[in-house]
Structures are given as structure tokens and as C-alpha cells.
């Protein structure tokens, strides 16, 4: 269904990497230039052997990064690290006496050590002064370099340019040799659910995927973990990157700092520390006021007024009313234009649904963010002073060993999982049926799905108390998803796509108020919905269209949306109960998804196929939130 053929894998030479690296020097990549050239090149220039010769060699991303992971795993074991230091001490003590004297003389003032803009003030001072200044310089050195070491650690693993990865590792190795603290990863790989060797970055360096990774790196100043997991499906990743880049950095009515803070507000509804950390960094890079990061009470009233819409769209979009739009557009000096409202809605729905993907794929914290790295010997991430590490403690506790077998968490004996062979047979049977249901029967089958989904339990543990560093961005945390069939509002009816659909109404509304974004969103929706490789769990030549449509429509049914021409009986035939529970959790309570939950469902599917299911959850949810919001905007415009 989803697995991309591996026959397209091509080798890349070092000259290809170097040609890509030259893009970093172009003016349009100024942010990346500052990161990669200023931080990396200056340190490399000072520390690395200048005789290092670039040799032509095929791209070896997979083995390269795997080998480095293995090295770090060995380094983080307490015993061997101590042994190496002891051996180093013993080796120095056994050196000839005259050599030791020479070394001490070098250390007393003639050593060429990295300056890192601190200067060397010890050259013409007395022994005691030089000793004091040596300690001061070391402190200054670490204070400056430590700001960049986590970034360098990330580039060791998550950079599409092999030479940059190699240089960054050399920097960290030199830091360790000087017996200065060097960070090590707290998590290995982009996902805690999928082994690094099975992800595209290290497993399939085909030309298209590599080019997209380069584009992601240039757009975002990083190759983030979300992009690496989405790399299973390069055609979708291309549309995702275009859309996200446009709504955050392209033309639009909202200021750039507003855009990123709105993203933080959206991620806060699901306690998604991963997205909050990324967007906080982007917010500051765009010149955002750091005081805003102290919480909702410190932001402008105009932004504060958006929060009710954020809360409603994230959990119960059917409650959105024209009064919410009116509250934004008619509040004096803090009023929003309709174009700004629509831009904000697009950002909110994008990040609400992206939370579903982040949690359901087990996306790990970025290595240079709090919770992504630590210092051996008990030194925590430097961000801990503001509570940043707390947000990720739950993530670390829930991560299980990759070697955990699927047999360790089998489905309930009373609910055996439907095998792929049976699923394929059911799809074939449904495609051969010619009998059509009456509109009344179709309506009854939708109601059955609503009732069954309301009775369906949510998998995963109950969420812990909202961490302090996330709670700053959350108001009314008890407001959560409520099953549409159990809604208390009797005047709210099922949303019928026949009356307001994305294709016929939403697309034109959003394009009219926010130029071009409708085209990008439409391409992204269609790519996720139509994406197929005609494979399923290793079987080939499989028509998966009915299975994909069942997943898409089930997600929207959870949010009270009905497609009048669809037979919802197909959902019960093709989507088993355990998969329904997983999708309901991923859509409505994504913060509860764990590796154990992930492993329980779709057990015969490839990881790339599970990722595709999660992409459809993401896009179906986003489309549902959008059409609720755009219908409300349209009603407000015609009042």
C-alpha cells in the first residue's frame, strides 16, 4: 500500500555533498549560513587538521550514522568512560621524564589552544597569574562553546551533508580530548517507535528524498525529526514542506512572530513539548518578545482573544460559532481582519493535527533541545534552569527498548487482529458488490458508527499533570474532546459534507481571504488521500483505495462529519476495533499514544505503512477542523 520501492536508491559522491553545501553560502540562506558556516566552519578552522583531504566516495548515510550511534552508545556506558580516563592518565605517567617536562612547559603558556573569541591573556604573565587566567579562560571557553555544542551534536546526526557531520564529530571529539564536558544524546534516532536503521535517512538515500532533506534543512535551519519520519513518503513530504514554509514564512497578513506564537498556543492544547520547543526557537529568531514566552498572561490582548477558537478547534470544532469570529473582528484596537483570522485558523489547524502525527509516530525531541541531550556525569541540559527538562521527563519514561518484540504486547484474545489476507479479501468483496443502499440506510449506518465510536475506549495512560513549562501556554486544560454522539448541545447537528465541503466551498473561501494557501492545502490533502504504492504488508498489486477512504472518513466521523454518499458499513468491515481505538486516540487524545499502543495495531504492516495511516489521520483531522472554521467564517460574512 505504502512501501516505496528500494530499487531507486542511488549513490551520491562527496562532490554532490559539496555542491549542496555551497548553497549555504548563498544570500538567500542567511540563517543557515550563520548556523552552519559561522558556528561550524570557524571551529573547524581552529581545531581540525588543515591537511584533511576530501576524497570522492559514495554516500554512506546509513552506515555512517549507525556507526556513530554505536560509538556513542559505548561512550555513554559509565565503566568504559572511566577506564579510558584512567588509561590516559597511566599513559602520561609512563612517558619519558623529559617528554613530561616538555608537555608541562607547553601547557604553561606556549600551547596553541582554541581561542573562540576569548583571546589568550596568559602569554606574558607570571606562573600564578597564568594559572588563574587558565582557569578563567577555560570557564569562558566552555560558556561560549557550550552554547553551540548541542547544535553541533545535532548536526552529527541530522544533517544531509556528510562532510558537515564529519567535521562536527571531530569538534566534539576534540572537546572530549581536552577533558571538557561534551553533550551526548538522550534519545537516538528521530522516533522512539522506529529503529533508526529502518528510517529513510539511513535506509534509503535515493535522490528525491535526499533533495527534500536538503530543502528541509535550508528552509528550517535543521533537518527535523518530523521531516525524517515523513521521508518514507517523499511525494507527501514535498507538499508538507511547501505548505508549512508558506504559512510560517511566506506572504500573509500576520506578523512572523505572531505566526510562531500561534503555533505554540496550538501545540500547547496537546502538551506537545516537541513542537513548542521548535516554535519557541523560531519565535525568538523572528524577533519575538521574550516576555511572551512567560505565558499567556504576558501576550498582547489581540493574541489572547484568539485562545477560545484555539481551544474549540482542537477538541470540539462543532462548537465554533459566528460569535467567536465577531469577538475577534469587533474589539476596538485589538480587532482582527478576516484575512488575519483565516491565516490564524490555518496555523492552528496545522499544528493541532501535527501534534497527532508527532505523538502517534513517537517523534523524539530534537537533539539540541532540552531533553534531547545531556552531559555525562550528571550534568543536565543547560535549559534546565527554566524548567525545560521537565516537559520531556514523561517522554523518556514512556520510551521502551527498540528490541521489545511485538509478541510482548499482543492484542486482546477476545479481539484478534484481522490479518492482511482477510482484509484484502474483504476489500475485494466490497468492490464486487453492486447493491446500493437507500439514503435512510446510509444515515443509519453513520449513526451506528457514531454510537460505536462513543462506546470505544481510549488507549494509553491518563495524561499526567501539565508540565510547568507547557502550562504557561494552556488555559482551561480540562476542556477536552467529547464524543460527538454524547454532545450536550441538542441544536448542533451532524455536519453534512453535501452542504459544505472542502472541494466546493472551503477551498474557495480560504483562497479568497488568504491568497494561494488553498491551492497548497488542497495538494497536501489529495497527496495524503491518494498516496499508494499498491502494496500492503509485503503484498503487491493491492488496491487499497477502500481502506484509505475508510480511515479518512472514520476520523471525520469522530468529529461529527458525514459524507452522504459513503457507506459507513465499510468501516466496520475494514477497520478493526483495535485500529479504531488507535486512530481515535491519535486524533482526539494524541498525548496518550505510546510505543506499546503503536505496536499493538497493524502488526503485519511495515513502519512506512503505519506512518502513512498517521499521515491520513493528520490530514483528515486538519481538513475537518478547517471546514468547520471556514463554514463559520462564511456564515459570518453573509450575516
Catalytic residue among 59, 116, 272, 587: 272
Neighbouring C-alpha atoms within 13 Å toward the C-beta of 378: 0
Grid coordinates representing 36 are 552552519
Closest C-alpha among 592, 599, 317, 270 to residue 459: 592
273 close to 467: Cβ distance less than 8 angstroms: yes
The backbone torsions φ and ψ at residue 478, rounded to the nearest 5 degrees and listed phi first, read -80, -10
What is the torsion angle, in degrees rounded to the nearest 10, for the CA atoms of residue 191, residue 196, residue 199 and residue 200?
Answer: 120
Grid coordinates representing 587 are 486524533
272 is annotated as an active-site residue:
yes
Grid coordinates representing 330 are 469587533
Please give the helix or strand (H or E) that residue 539 lies within, else none: strand 539-540
Q: Which residues of 326-344 are buried (b: 16+ CB within 10 A; e: fewer)?
A: ebbeeeeeeebebebbbbb
Please give the helix or strand (H or E) that residue 276 lies within, else none: helix 273-285
The backbone torsions φ and ψ at residue 121, rounded to the nearest 5 degrees and listed phi first, read -100, 15
Q: Angle 78-94/61-75 helices, nearest 10 degrees?
A: 80
- In 322-390, at which residue ranges do the beta strands (DSSP E only) sit? 373-374
627 close to 320: Cβ distance less than 8 angstroms: no
* Range list of H helices, 147-224: 149-157, 162-177, 200-203, 207-220
Catalytically active residues are 272
Amino acid at each position: 500500500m505504502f512501501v516505496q520501492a528500494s530499487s531507486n536508491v542511488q549513490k551520491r559522491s562527496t562532490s554532490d555533498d559539496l555542491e549542496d553545501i555551497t548553497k549555504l553560502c548563498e544570500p538567500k540562506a542567511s540563517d543557515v549560513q550563520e548556523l552552519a558556516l559561522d558556528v561550524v566552519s570557524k571551529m573547524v578552522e581552529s581545531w581540525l587538521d588543515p591537511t584533511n583531504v576530501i576524497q570522492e566516495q559514495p554516500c554512506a548515510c546509513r552506515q555512517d550514522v549507525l556507526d556513530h550511534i554505536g560509538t556513542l552508545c559505548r561512550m555513554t556506558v559509565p565503566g568504559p568512560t572511566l577506564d579510558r580516563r584512567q588509561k590516559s592518565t597511566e599513559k602520561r605517567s609512563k612517558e619519558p621524564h623529559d617528554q613530561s617536562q616538555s608537555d608541562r612547559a607547553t601547557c604553561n603558556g606556549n600551547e596553541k589552544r582554541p581561542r573562540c573569541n576569548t583571546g589568550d591573556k596568559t602569554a606574558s604573565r607570571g606562573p600564578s597569574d597564568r594559572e588563574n587566567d587558565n582557569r578563567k579562560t577555560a570557564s569562558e571557553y566552555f560558556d561560549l562553546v557550550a552554547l553551540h555544542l548541542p547544535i553541533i551534536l545535532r548536526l552529527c546526526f541530522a544533517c544531509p551533508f556528510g562532510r558537515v557531520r564529519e567535521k562536527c564529530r571531530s569538534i566534539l571529539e576534540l572537546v572530549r580530548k581536552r577533558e571538557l564536558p561534551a553533550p551526548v544524546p538522550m534519545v537516538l534516532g528521530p522516533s522512539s517507535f522506529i529503529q533508526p536503521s529502518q528510517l529513510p535517512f539511513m535506509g534509503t538515500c535515493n535522490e528525491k528524498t535526499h533533495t527534500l532533506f536538503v530543502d528541509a534543512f535550508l528552509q528550517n535551519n535543521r533537518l527535523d525529526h518530523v521531516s525524517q519520519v515523513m521521508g518514507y513518503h517523499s511525494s507527501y513530504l514535498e507538499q508538507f514542506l511547501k505548505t508549512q514554509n508558506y504559512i510560517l514564512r511566506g506572504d500573509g497578513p500576520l506578523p512572523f512572530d505572531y505566526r510562531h506564537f500561534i503555533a505554540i498556543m496550538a501545540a500547547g492544547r496537546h502538551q506537545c513539548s516537541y513542537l513548542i520547543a521548535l516554535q519557541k526557537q523560531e519565535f525568538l529568531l523572528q524577533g519575538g518578545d521574550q516576555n511572551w514566552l512567560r505565558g499567556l498572561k504576558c501576550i498582547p490582548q489581540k493574541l489572547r482573544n484568539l485562545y477560545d477558537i484555539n481551544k474549540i478547534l482542537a477538541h470540539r470544532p462543532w462548537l465554533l460559532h459566528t460569535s467567536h469570529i465577531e469577538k475577534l473582528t469587533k474589539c476596538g484596537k485589538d480587532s482582527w481582519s478576516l484575512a488575519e483570522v483565516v491565516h490564524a485558523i490555518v496555523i492552528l489547524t496545522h499544528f493541532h493535527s501535527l501534534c497527532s502525527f508527532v505523538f502517534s509516530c513517537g517523534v523524539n525531541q530534537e537533539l539540541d533541545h532540552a531533553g534531547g541531550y545531556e552531559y555525562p556525569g550528571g550534568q543536565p541540559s543547560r535549559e534546565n534552569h527554566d524548567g525545560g527538562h521537565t516537559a520531556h521527563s514523561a517522554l523518556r519514561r514512556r520510551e521502551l527498548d527498540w528490541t521489545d518484540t511485538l509478541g510482548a504486547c499482543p492484542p486482546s484474545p477476545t479481539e484478534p487482529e484481522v490479518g492482511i489476507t482477510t482484509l484484502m479479501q474483504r476489500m475485494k468483496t466490497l468492490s464486487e458488490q453492486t447493491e446500493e443502499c437507500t439514503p435512510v440506510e446510509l444515515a443509519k449506518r453513520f449513526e451506528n458508527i457514531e454510537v460505536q465510536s462513543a462506546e470505544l475506549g481510549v488507549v494509553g495512560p491518563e495524561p499526567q499533570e501539565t508540565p510547568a513549562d507547557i502550562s504557561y501556554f494552556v488555559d482551561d486544560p480540562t476542556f477536552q474532546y467529547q464524543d460527538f454522539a454524547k454532545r450536550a448541545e441538542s441544536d448542533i447537528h451532524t455536519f453534512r459534507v453535501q452542504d459544505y465541503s472542502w472541494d466546493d466551498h472551503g477551498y474557495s473561501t480560504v483562497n479568497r481571504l488568504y491568497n494561494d494557501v488553498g491551492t497548497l492545502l488542497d495538494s497536501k490533502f489529495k497527496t495524503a488521500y491518494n498516496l499508494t504504492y499498491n502494496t500492503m504488508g509485503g503484498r503487491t498489486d493491492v488496491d487499497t483505495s477502500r481502506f484509505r477512504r475508510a480511515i479518512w472518513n472514520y476520523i471525520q466521523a469522530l468529529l461529527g462529519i458525514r459524507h452522504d454518499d459513503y457507506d459507513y458499513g465499510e468501516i466496520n468491515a475494514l477497520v478493526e476495533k483495535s485500529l479504531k481505538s488507535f486512530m481515535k486516540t491519535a486524533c482526539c487524545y494524541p498525548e496518550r499514544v505510546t510505543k506499546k499502543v503503536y505496536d499493538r495495531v497493524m502488526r503485519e504492516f511495515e513502519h512506512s505503512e503505519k506512518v502513512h495511516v498517521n499521515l491520513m489521520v493528520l490530514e483528515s483531522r486538519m481538513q475537518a477542523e478547517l471546514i468547520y472554521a471556514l463554514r463559520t467564517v462564511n456564515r459570518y460574512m453573509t450575516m
